[in-house]
Amino acid sequence: MKIPDKIKINGKTFTIEMRNNRATNDGVDVGASSCLWSQKIWIDNDQHIESQEEGLLHEILEVVSKEMGFELNHTTITALSNILYQVLKDNNLLER
């Protein structure tokens, strides 16, 4: 999967920022995060490409859940993003 600089989710354009060492530089000990108000997704560039790709899927699901009022809990979003990533990977649907 090519991680783009921007992605549209529910008609809104989100900027994707690749950041190095987010735990130290940003004080955030997660591989990826998102913000609806600033329409940004941050991904830690120091992690393996597979973790970056799964993290992007996770943040897309986070945004969709909030935007659509699903209010899925973090455990559910993590499970969905892991399963979706595995389906895409196992069926050669990820382009790099």
pLDDT per residue as tens digits for the range 42-78: 999 999 999 999 999 999 999 999 999 999 999 999 9
Q: Regarding the domain delimited by 6-90, which CATH topology (the fold level of the hierarchy) does it fall under?
A: Zincin-like (3.30.2010)
H/E stretch holding 42 reads strand 40-44
Q: What is the pLDDT of residue 11?
A: 96
pTM for the predicted model, two decimal places: 0.91
pLDDT attached to residue 22: 77
Q: Buried (b) or exposed (e) across 50-84, using 16+ Cβ within 10 A?
A: ebbbbbbbbbbbbbebeeeeeebeeeebeebbeee
Q: What is the pLDDT of residue 75?
A: 97
How far is residue 3's CA from residue 25's CA, in Å, rounded to a whole number? 21
